[in-house]
Amino acid sequence: PDSSAMLIAARDFQGIAENRLWQVPLIGNADEVATQYIADPFLDHLDYPRFSADGRYLAFRSAYELVLYDVEAATWRALDAAMMGNTPVIWSPPTFENESACR
């Protein structure tokens, strides 16, 4: 969120076969200095990272499970293992109530 780097999901990168989230600096030799953003063995096949509007949270999929990562506390939690899906994470506007409120 500070515009010094971008966050990507990549596989077969730096010798790691599965998808991981990488922080890639916008200047310099990105391939060599990119670092794993979340290096937790319990999370695998990470993709579709999306920061919240305030930058506090990062939502992403881990093997089709929705995960919420608290950037400030550096902690994560799976939101609902029973609702696994294959769609990207989308943050709703703060005033969003539900689909029935849309006109």
How confident is the model over 46-66, as pLDDT tens digits? Answer: 999 999 988 899 999 998 899
Tell me how crowded residue 21 is: count the other CB atoms within 10 A of its CB. Answer: 22
35 — phi, psi (to 5°)? -125, 155
- Does pLDDT of 27 surpass 60? yes
C-alpha gyration radius of the chain: 15
| Residue 49 near residue 7, CB atoms below 8 Å | yes
17 vs 83: CA distance, rounded Å: 26
Q: Determine contact, residues 87/101, Cβ cutoff 8 Å.
A: no
Total number of domains in the chain: 1
* Residue 64 belongs to domain spanning: 5-101
pTM (predicted TM-score):
0.80
Q: Provide the pLDDT for residue 95.
A: 64
